[in-house]
Amino acid sequence: MFYTAESVEQLAEHFSQLPGIGKKTAHRLALFVLKMDRPSVDALAAALIAVKEKVRYCSICSNITETDPCAICSSSKRDRTLICVVQEPNDVLAVEKTNEFRGLYHVLGGALSPLDGIGPDDLRIKELLERIGAGGVDEVILAMNPNVEGEATTLYVSRLIKPLGMRVTRIARGLPVGSDLEFADEATLSRALEGRVAV
Amino acid sequence: MIVKTSAIVLRTIRYGDTSKIVTLFTRDHGKVAVVAKGARSARARFGSALDAGAHLEVVYHARVSREVQTLTQADVLERHRRLSSSLAATTAMMQMVEVVNVLTQPGEPHQDLYELLAAGLRAADRRDDGLADVLIAFRWKTIGALGFEPSFVRCVRCAKEVIPGEPTRLRYHVGKGGPLCSECEQAVISLPSRAGGRDHWSETLVSTEALEGLQRLQSGPLVDAGSRPVSNEVRNEMESVLRLYERFHLEQRTPLRTSDLVREVIRSH
């Protein structure tokens, strides 16, 4: 039996499938959609469909894109000798926001996590090696998450790339900007000390 | 109830935008699942403490009616530096925590196994080579800690010491947990399985060299495992008996998820 209208219940059911959305929030969102004006609802529905119809993975870097190759891979302003390897498309967005990196990306599609059944064959490592093997790359920057899975992926990928003869680097690990030293945990602080730089 | 205990992280899964659900193997309460709110954000109060293999002191709010408890504090008890800088050590650590995660049930304390896991992580952290043997030793010792300790030197039928003077290959009776000396093998060979005779489902032939190696690994400290090198052939034998033993006694029918990576990273070197 439906306590409200059937279509509201169905919409709430769909919202509740989204990550981080519980049943109460899903109902609140469904009722909010009900209060929205018609053009906004049309735009929302069109945006949902467009995302499925237009978005695909870039055939070069595996980032999400509407055009293949993606805007970054096809840009002439990018430094093609530099590849930043990241786990997920979200990480590309995070690095791009810095406006510091002008090279290309390679999205692995996850991190090595045998405990979750994710092995090297489930990541786009082979594609990365093919890309590097094609030549023209001077440096590969490994920008994985600073956890066990990210570290294992960094070590695994670097072991494969180093014999190819280019510079392999990883992003620095240490304290977040704006935080207090006294609240940093031992591991973070010791890594920050290991990675200290001359001033 | 507020619980304060030492624990080793077995597994973490992402939960929501910034949280983690962490499976802890605690010294006093066995396996416990806790939610670590905000653990994945840049300014997380738990810092790097909640990674698989981390040895911690934790405080959590426990309620019997809840399956997942709430973690409030986690401090590192023991730092394993090489576990984050060596792929082989990381892989060994992953297999150790997987073994304990697969073979334990929530809420069943097991201090011997806890100490064994802590010692295993220490051994993985200190060793540069011989990690394949450390892992085999760890898995055999885990079987022993769970109450299925095997015998490698005495015949399971007559209790005679088998290795000195025995032929190079012996029949190992996985079901009974030990080898058969050549006399006992002759005696049981004609008997039907239900009368104590041969049981093809749980038997395998093992070299005395592999049995000696297994005895060394089982009785020696983990950190010394692999200090006496064995050939790949003998190591394969030792692992093959181990797999049969795990399958028979612990009903572990599917291979460990970390097996492929261990083979690629540790066994191939």
pLDDT digits (tens, 9 = 90+) for A81-95: 999 999 999 999 999
Residue B44 is predicted with a pLDDT of 65
Residue B229 is predicted with a pLDDT of 80
Choices 3.40.50.360, 3.20.20.70, 3.40.1360.10, 3.40.50.920: CATH for A77-194: 3.40.1360.10
Query: Helix count (H) and strand count (E) of chain B?
Result: 7, 8
Provide the pairing of β-strand A79-86 with A139-143: parallel
Cβ–Cβ gap B87/A152 under 8 Å = yes
Cβ–Cβ gap A20/B260 under 8 Å = no
Residue B199 is predicted with a pLDDT of 59
Residue A7 is predicted with a pLDDT of 92
Q: How far is B115 from chain A (nearest CA, A)?
A: 21
Question: Which residues of chain B have a CB within 8 Å of the CB of A20?
Answer: 16-17
**Residues B70, B37: contact at Cβ < 8 Å?**
yes
Residue B165 is predicted with a pLDDT of 62
Residue A184 is predicted with a pLDDT of 78
Residue B269 is predicted with a pLDDT of 59
Residues of chain A with pLDDT below 70 are 1-3
Which residues, numbered 12 to 41 in chain A, qualify as contacts with chain B under a Cβ-Cβ cut-off of 8 Å?
Answer: 19-20
**Residues A104, A80: contact at Cβ < 8 Å?**
yes
Cβ–Cβ gap A115/B47 under 8 Å = no
**Residues A173, A189: contact at Cβ < 8 Å?**
no
Q: In what helix (H) or strand (E) does residue B133 lie, and over which residues does it extend?
A: helix B131-145
ipTM over 0.85: no
**Residues B252, B174: contact at Cβ < 8 Å?**
no
Unique residue bearing structure tokens 């190992």: B172
Give the Cα separation of A22 and A181 in Å (integer). Answer: 36
Q: What is the pTM of this model?
A: 0.84
Cβ–Cβ gap B94/A155 under 8 Å = no
Per-run averaged pLDDT (10 residues), chain B, 269 residues = 94 86 95 90 71 92 89 88 86 95 91 95 87 93 90 85 73 85 76 55 80 88 83 88 86 83 81
Provide CATH code, domain A6-54: 1.10.8.420
- Signed CA dihedral, B85, B88, B94, B96: sign only: negative
Residue B167 is predicted with a pLDDT of 64
How many CA within 13 A on the CB side of residue B25?
28
Name the DSSP class of B264: I
Report CA-CA distances (Å) from A175 to A129, A130, A189. 32, 35, 7
Nearest to B37, CA basis, from B54, B55, B14, B57: B14
Question: Could you state, in order of their start, the residue ranges of all structural domains in chain A?
Answer: 6-54, 77-194
Cβ-nearest to A119 among B49, B84, B261: B261
Give the Cα separation of A131 and A129 in Å (integer). Answer: 5
Tell me which chain A residue has its CA closest to the CA of residue B43: A176
Query: SS3 of B120, please?
Result: helix
Residue B219 is predicted with a pLDDT of 87
Which tens digits make up the pLDDT trace of A162-176?
998 889 999 988 887
